[in-house]
Amino acid sequence: MLESSGIRFVPLDGRRLAYEVRGDGAPLVAPAWWVSHLELDWQNPGVRQFWQGVAQDRALIRYDRFGVGLSDRTVHDSDLTLDGEVAMLSAVLDALGLDRVSLLGGSSGSCTAVAFAASYPERVERLTLYGSFPQGDALAPPDVADAIVAAVHAHWGLGSRVLSDIFLGGADAAEHERFAQLQRESASAQTAAALLRLVYRLDVRSRLPLVSAPATVVHRRHDRAVPYRFGLEVAAAIPGATFIPLQGSSHFPWHGDIDSVVRACSQVPAQQPSRYDRDDVESVALSSREREILTHVARGLGDREIAQHLQLSAHTVHRHVANIRRKLGSPSRSAAVAEAARLGLL
C-alpha cells in the first residue's frame, strides 16, 4: 500500500499547484495528463492497483495541473502550452529538492515527459511512456477534434460520456459513469475543453531525438484513443528506446489487463549509446528502397498499405521487410524500427 504523506502545495505564478508523494524510495514522477484529482483518483480500485504496481519500492509523485483537481482552478494562457506543462513539472521537482528522477508519462503526460527529458537530460534517470503520441493534431481529423471539444464545452455531462466511451471502450456502465463523474468533478467544462484543445496542439516531434535517458515505450495494439502506430513512431524517434506492444483496447493503463501494463512499465531499459560507431552503421547497408519502406513501417503501415503507397506488389514489400529484419537482426517489425532508430537510419 502506497501511504500518502498528504497533499502539499507549491506556489507558482501567484497560484497554488497541488502535489502528493506516496511511498518511499527512488522518486517516480508522473507528469499530469488531461484532467485528474489527487484525492478522487485514488478511490478507483484500478487506479490504485496500477500505481501500487509500478511504484513498488518507489516514491510516487503526482500533481494536478492548474485548472483541475485540488490545484488553483485559475488557468492562464501561458499554462496552455507545452512549456507551461514543463514549468509545472519543474516547480514540483524543485519544491521537493529532486535533482534526478524517473518519469512515467501516460497519454498527454507523455509529451510533458518527453519535453522535460529533452530540455533537462541531466535530471532524468529513466523515461517510461504509455499510450504516447508525437503530435496531437494527428489524433483526430480537425472537424472531429472540433466537435469533441465543442461537446465538452457546451454540455459537460454529454461531453464527459463521449470521452468515457473513447477512453474506456468496453467497460461496464458503472465504470463509464464513475469516470464521467470524475471528469466533471475534476474540472469545469470551460477548463476541460481548453485542456483538450491543448492536447490536440501538442507536438514533440522535434524533441524526441533529443532524449538521452534510457526509454521504454509501452502501447496497447488496439488503443481506442491513441492509435498503436503513434507509439511506434515515438519509440522509433527516441535513440535507443525499447518498444513493448501489449494486447488491449483501453487507453487507460488501469483498465483491462492492468498487470501486463505494470510489468511492461516496470522493465528497466538497457543503457545504450545514443548512436553507434560509424563502422556499425555502415555495416547494416540498407538500400534506399529498404529505408523508404522502413519509414512506412515505423508509421504503423502494413505490407498492403505500403505497397499501395509505393505502387509495388505486397509480395515485394514483404520481401523487403524480411531483408530489413535480417540485416538488423530483429525478430519483429517493431524491433527493426527501434534498431534502425538507434543506428540513425530513420
CATH class (in words) of the domain with range 278-342: mainly alpha
Residue pLDDT, tens place only, 237-258: 999 999 999 999 989 999 889 9
pTM over 0.85: no
Please state the length of the chain. 346
Q: Which residue has the cell 534510457?
A: 214
| Rg (the chain; Cα; Å) | 20
d(CA 305, CA 302): 5
The phi, psi pair for 249, rounded to 5°, reads: -125, -15
Task: Output the pLDDT for position 277.
Answer: 47
- Give me the amino acid identity at 256: G
Express each pLDDT in 280-302 by its tens digit: 555 567 888 998 999 888 877 88
**Alpha-carbon torsion (74, 76, 81, 86), positive or negative:** negative
Average pLDDT rounded to a whole number, residues 47-55: 95
**278-342 and 4-266 share a CATH fold:** no
Domain boundaries, the chain: 4-266, 278-342
Four-residue CA torsion sign, 137, 143, 147, 149:
positive
Alpha-carbon distance of 183 to 175, in angstroms, equals 12
pLDDT given for residue 274 in this prediction = 43
- pLDDT bin (cut points 50, 70, 90) of residue 1 is low
pLDDT reported for residue 217:
97
Render the burial of 256-268: b for 16+ CB within 10 Å, e for the rest: bebebbbebbeee
Q: Could you say which of 3.90.1170.50, 3.40.50.1820, 1.20.120.1200, 3.40.50.2300 is the CATH number of the domain covering 4-266?
A: 3.40.50.1820
Q: Does 71 or 34 have the greater pLDDT score? A: 71
